[in-house]
Structure 1
Amino acid sequence: MLGSLTDLILWDNQLSGFTPKELGNCTSLQTLALYANTLVGPIPVELTNLKFLKKLYLYRNQLNGTVPRQIGNMSMVTEIDFSENYLTGEIPVELGQIKGLSLLYLFQNQLTGVIPNEISSLRNLTKLDLSINKLTGSIPSAVVGGVSLILIVVILYFMRRPVETVPSLQDDDVSISESDIYFRPKEGFTFQDLVEATHHFHESYAVGRGACGTVYKAVMHSGQVIAVKKLSSNREGSNIENSFRAEILTLGNIRHRNIVKLYGFCYHQGSNLLLYEYMTKGSLGELLHGPSCDLDWPTRFTIALGAAEGLAYLHHDCRPSIIHRDIKSNNILLDDKFEAHVGDFGLAKVVDLPYSKSMSAVAGSYGYIAPEYAYTLKVTEKCDIYSYGVVLLELLTGRTPVQPLEQGGDLVTWVKQYIRGHSLTSGVLDRRLDLEDQRIIDHMITVMKIALVCTSISPLDRPSMREVVLMLIESNEQQGNFIAVPENDLPPRHEDDDAP
């Protein structure tokens, strides 16, 4: 009856009971998405009859039993996600027969045994997550040595060991033990090198602090400078592990000149380390709100455009899309040319736009949180756009996102109250800038209008990040090109765009 059906999408509903084995009769099926329901029982072996299936998503259910060994017969499958279930038994060696497999997520189950060597033969595999299981043994060296950082294979059951057995990192204990999980960067430095470069993560090497940990500056023997983010001990709860995992799963998959680059990561005796490219100018927040700020308007606009392009890449060019959830001036890092790099992906979520994702609690930073997120707990890309609008207002006014209560309590409210009383004039702009140049004032007021539409109360009234990039580029052209925008900075068209 459903022999011609090619895509069956029923995710995020309240489906219960067993997965219908009759789905194995839908011989033309190419996508089967039943994730985020409450399905129980084993994975039907009949699903392995779907010879044309390319994407099989059963994650975030209550499935149990083993992964069917007949899964190796599904020769067309490219993506398999069985994560966040209660699957037991060993990872079937037959997975090695699916030569086109590019994504395999089995994390957060109860799988046992070793990682099959056969997985090493999957040359197209770029995303592999086996974390939070009960796996033992060693990681097949072809797996780690033959692929790039995109291969997520290294957070095994060690991160779920009882906290009392996990020792803290001591000055005299820096050797790599069997319980360490380490992804060495291509540059070849080791964990021991990191310890030496930071003098055992001494306070004097700290260059930044956040809710989850501390960032250190490390100069390696080669002269290369990297930033080492040392997350707090596992003793402080699962949020640290979630942050560690979120950064790897997002930054490990993306490359863009306006996104901070992740070089590698390490789990060592209760310490989670993330290794990034070092940003010589620090964060935008530190520069903009520090004791002395000499950022002129063209530089500020360059930063605004770079950050917008990084966000547009996350929202529109990643598949599935990535919502950052913590866009703020302190998470926009600057290199020696003041090029913006979006950083800190500890709260990031992967979402199939235009859909939303429900959270259990509000996360983010005061002054940047979109109003609808605060009362619905549903996160969409529009939440990032609101936060980006606040950053634009910071660049324009020089003020911090949190304002005195008598002035509204936040920057968005202060700006809107000021405009209601004075109209959109130069009085709202940062007086540290050259406001004698009418061309600068006109351009800043144009960008102010973009910031105001980004911070609209209704998310439906906010533009997409691709539209924001276009508006910024057009504002630059209209005012005589304050900065040179390369032609390749124009947002690319995609298959889902309207035809010209």
Structure 2
Amino acid sequence: MPSYIPSLRLLLRSLSVGLSSDSHPTCMRMKRRIGGCQRPMQEHMEKRESERAPSQQSATGSSLLLLLLLRIVMLSLPAHASSASSQSWDGIIISQADYQGLQALKHALDDPRGLLRGWNDTGLDACSGAWVGIKCVKGKVIAIQLPWRGLGGRITEKISQLAALRKLSLHDNRIGGQIPSAIGFLPQLRGLYLFNNRFSGAIPPSIGNCPILRTIDLSNNSLAGSIPSSIANATKLYRLNLGHNNLSGAIPRSITRSASLTFFSLQHNNVSVPFPTHGASEVTLNLDYNSISGNLPPSLGGLQMLKEITLSNNRLNGSIPEEIGKLSLLQTLDLSHNDIGGSLPVTICNLSSLVELSLEGNKIDGHIPDNIDGLKNLSMLSLKRNRLSGAIPATLGNISGLSQLDLSENNLAGDIPATLVHLTGLTSFDVSDNNLSGRVPLLLAHKFNSSSFMGNIQLCGYSIAVPCPSSPAPSLSPPLIPTGDAIVLIVAAAALAVLLFLLCCVLLCCLTRKRSSSGKKTDGGAPATGREEKPGGPATGAEAESGGEAGGKLVHFEGPSAFAADDLLCATAEIMGKSTYGTVYKATLEAGNQRLREKITKSQKEFETEACELGRIRHHNLLALRAYYLGPKGEKLLVFDFMPKGSLAAFLHARGPETPIDWATRMRIAKGVTRGLLHLHNEVNMIHGNLTNSNILLDDDTNAKISDFGLSSLMTSAASSNVIATAGALGYRAPELSKLKKANTKTDAYSLGVVMLELLTGKSPAEVTNGMDLPHWVASIVKGDAAGTAAGDELLNTLKLALHCVDLAPAARPEVQQILQQLDEIRPTLPAALQDPARMMVAPLPQLHPQAMISSVASFEFIDSFEL
């Protein structure tokens, strides 16, 4: 009991002298206000009234003053001092048991930021919103929500005093120690969110005593020991995430047979069998990176509700059971990197809902089933590094939605089916290191680089270096010996051909001299630049000029140049940065024009061809290539417009808190990047592959300009792989690129989603928060709908769209065209008071927290969802 209560009661007795509960309107209003305190106080005051002298009852002015003081005191009385009813509770006073439980929790936690300083020793305003992270109903604490607060320490056993607690959310902190067994004595608990902390020890078996517990997320901790089977006693549990811990032992059968569990994740632990069996209702089963061994049981086919199963990087052996074909709702099947053998069951082709099938890194042999086109919704198929033989089935060409196909490192033979050219959405293709033969279909050879076909000795036509031999028709008759007349004719034809060749050479020399003399003429005394259209040049509108005194060649795109080669080479150069693509300079010309030039290294012939292709590309949201320069010593420069506002990275993270970025600017940048990427995909048929905040530049009006597109074609394959790896280190790379190594429209969509999240939160993807990257960090905020969130809010819809783009399943991500359409459909639905542009400023960068940002825009906060 707080120490202030006895003194308040004594003061109350002294103030009650001379007051009548029925004689004054103010008292009547007070009775209605204090409700539950009315009857005991009235009896007490009537008793004192009978003892008072009549003269004292006339002190009206003093009574009014004392009434006011009494009302103040009564508003401060805790609930246990009265018999408060549900109708009279004022929402400010907290019950004694809950007060003590919160105080014990406060003292057990380390609070370096002082965020719990408002949890005062009086208990006042605990349920009025003044105590951060606390929500009450009728004086009882129903939710503790303190994620991302930098809290340490431990959770006290006295948390069991919060008997009405429905939700405990302490995720993304540094809280350690053991999870208290007292949590099992919270009968109303529905959501337990302790992920991304430092908890150790075993999971308390008492956790199964919570009868209506629905979600348990203890992932990303250091929990050890076995999984208590008592968890299954929580009969309403539908989501259990124990991933990324040190758990071991067998998975309790009572859990895998749970009738309510729909999401079960144990990835990155050390658990073993058994698998779920008949009667279970799991929808998602993530068990990758464990020590699960043995065969896949036929009972796996009894999980009729299963939509996703990932068992990669375990110790599974045996063969894939035919019963797996009964999982009609299955969308993801990942059995990669195990020791599974045998042949592919024909029944696997019955999985018509399957979107992703990954069986790479096993010992599967036999043929690929001819009815593989039964997987009509398949988007990704990886059978890499197995022992498959036979031909590639032509029916693969019937799976119209297939975007990634990897059959490399097998023993496949025969031709590459021509039907595969029908897969117009195919962005990743690899059949290397097999025994394939024949000519590669022309469209596939043009679309994919030679590394997709290498390692097949009898395969040809996929590269200039590997042409297909001519195949003259065989003849059964003996070779003819030419006669004397035939020999004369052959000699005469050869002489005529030589004569014609010499004549062409003479004409060409004359034409060259004529052009050279006309180039030396001047116009009004000004020296000419000597421009001429590049003979045979692939770029329309490209003009080449000599490299000036230094030699070399400068090629401009789109009309007259604003500078000559000497101007460029003599310009003041400032190194702006270095990347895998080369060195980036800022060149300041004498005329004041500024250009961005980038040094690239590749053979001259390939460089010119690819640079001319890039010079054709024009779009408002793409950084245009203005010219390129070839020096006499092999120097290669690309010349672009200089963007004065720099990159998006500098715009977001190199500005002070006094210069916030308004919402309209953020959306304009997001839409601009999306439009530029859409043009690359749909009009140019080009994948960017390395979209980051550093290669999104901003002009004077803060319009986004995507750069570095197509530069991978100017590099070797090894350097291109390094670019992809660097993008991954920065947090922009789609996770599947670690396996497939080839970017596509879906991986670009993932990078775009990360850029959008960075725009919305101000948080760099390179930062890791408690072991989580930016997409997972934001997803942990919005994975349940936000309490009190206004549906259709512009910011919330944009966040959800960005999270859709970074979905781990590539097939679930929208195409860039769909992203732009949804961005255009999002309209502001903010309160009228917030439509003022001055109120639309988002919180200052770089230290921007999504909750703070959202509160400033739409006056709501994200919390994990649960039913109150």
TM-score by length of structure 2 reads: 0.33
Residues 223 and 247 (structure 1 numbering): CA distance in 2 closer, same or farther, change over 3 Å? farther
Report deviation, 1:330: 1.2
Residues 11-410 of structure 1 correspond to what in structure 2 (within 5 A)?
33=443, 35=445, 59=463, 62-63=466-467, 143-144=533-534, 149=539, 175-177=549-551, 180-184=552-556, 186-198=560-572, 201=573, 205-231=574-600, 248=611, 251-268=614-631, 269-292=633-656, 293-318=659-684, 321-345=685-709, 347-348=711-712, 362-365=724-727, 366-404=730-768, 406-408=770-772, 410=773
1:6-49 Cα distance to aligned partner (Å, 9 max, x none) = x96667767966659xxxxxxxxxx95462557999x9xxxxxx
Distance 1:246 1:345 in 2: 15
* Equivalent residue letter for 1:206: I
Q: Is residue 446–residue 475 contact of structure 1 (8 Å, CA) maintained in 2?
A: yes
- The secondary structure found in structure 1 opposite 2:701 is coil
Structure 1 residues without counterparts, runs of 5 or longer: 1-6, 21-30, 44-56, 67-92, 94-113, 121-140, 155-172, 351-358, 428-437, 484-500
Residues 439-458 of structure 1 correspond to what in structure 2 (within 5 A)?
442-458=793-809
Aligned to 1:137: none
Report deviation, 1:452: 0.4
* Equivalent residue letter for 2:732: Y
1:209-234 Cα distance to aligned partner (Å, 9 max, x none) = 43333322233344432212234xx5
* Equivalent residue letter for 1:370: A
Distance 1:219 1:461 in 2: 46
Distance 1:314 1:482 in 2: 36
- The secondary structure found in structure 2 opposite 1:395 is helix
Report deviation, 1:346: 5.5
Distance 2:812 2:628 in 1: 40
Residues 150 and 300 (structure 1 numbering): CA distance in 2 closer, same or farther, change over 3 Å? farther
Aligned pair 1:468/2:819, yes or no? Answer: yes
Residues 462 and 214 (structure 1 numbering): CA distance in 2 closer, same or farther, change over 3 Å? same
1:255-287 Cα distance to aligned partner (Å, 9 max, x none) = 111100100111222432110012111111111
* Equivalent residue letter for 1:260: L
- The secondary structure found in structure 1 opposite 2:534 is helix
Report deviation, 1:146: 9.1
Asked which structure has the greater RCO (Cα within 8 Å, sep 6+), the reply is: 1
Q: Is residue 586–residue 595 contact of structure 2 (8 Å, CA) maintained in 1?
A: yes
Residues 210 and 18 (structure 1 numbering): CA distance in 2 closer, same or farther, change over 3 Å? closer
Residues 245 and 187 (structure 1 numbering): CA distance in 2 closer, same or farther, change over 3 Å? closer
- The secondary structure found in structure 1 opposite 2:826 is helix
Distance 1:266 1:152 in 2: 12
Task: Please say which of residues 384-393 and 473-482 is displaced more in the overlay.
Answer: 473-482
Q: Is residue 533–residue 542 contact of structure 2 (8 Å, CA) maintained in 1?
A: no
Distance 2:669 2:787 in 1: 23
Distance 1:348 1:176 in 2: 28
Report deviation, 1:331: 0.9
Q: Is residue 149–residue 264 contact of structure 1 (8 Å, CA) maintained in 2?
A: no
Distance 1:340 1:255 in 2: 14
Report deviation, 1:251: 2.6
Distance 2:688 2:811 in 1: 19
Aligned pair 1:411/2:774, yes or no? Answer: yes
Distance 2:555 2:680 in 1: 24
Structure 2 residues without counterparts, runs of 5 or longer: 1-416, 422-428, 471-496, 498-504, 512-530, 715-719, 838-868
Residues 142 and 195 (structure 1 numbering): CA distance in 2 closer, same or farther, change over 3 Å? closer
Distance 2:836 2:801 in 1: 17
Query: Which one has the largest radius of gyration?
Result: 2
- The secondary structure found in structure 1 opposite 2:765 is coil
1:316-348 Cα distance to aligned partner (Å, 9 max, x none) = 122xx1100111111111110111111012554
Report deviation, 1:246: 9.4
- The secondary structure found in structure 2 opposite 1:379 is coil
Aligned to 2:397: none
Residues 282 and 414 (structure 1 numbering): CA distance in 2 closer, same or farther, change over 3 Å? same
Distance 2:533 2:419 in 1: 32
Distance 2:568 2:675 in 1: 32
Residues 225 and 153 (structure 1 numbering): CA distance in 2 closer, same or farther, change over 3 Å? closer
* Equivalent residue letter for 1:458: A
Residues 369 and 424 (structure 1 numbering): CA distance in 2 closer, same or farther, change over 3 Å? farther
- The secondary structure found in structure 1 opposite 2:793 is helix
Q: Is residue 807–residue 813 contact of structure 2 (8 Å, CA) maintained in 1?
A: yes
Report deviation, 1:148: 7.9
Report deviation, 1:174: 8.6
Report deviation, 1:458: 0.4
Residues 273 and 335 (structure 1 numbering): CA distance in 2 closer, same or farther, change over 3 Å? same
- Coordinate RMSD, CA, aligned: 4.7
Report deviation, 1:190: 2.2
Distance 1:283 1:364 in 2: 17
TM-score by length of structure 1 reads: 0.55
Q: Is residue 226–residue 278 contact of structure 1 (8 Å, CA) maintained in 2?
A: yes
Residues 243 and 225 (structure 1 numbering): CA distance in 2 closer, same or farther, change over 3 Å? farther
* Equivalent residue letter for 1:182: L
Aligned to 2:308: none
- The secondary structure found in structure 1 opposite 2:750 is helix
Residues 275 and 454 (structure 1 numbering): CA distance in 2 closer, same or farther, change over 3 Å? same
1:449-490 Cα distance to aligned partner (Å, 9 max, x none) = 11000000001011010111110010037679999xxxxxxx
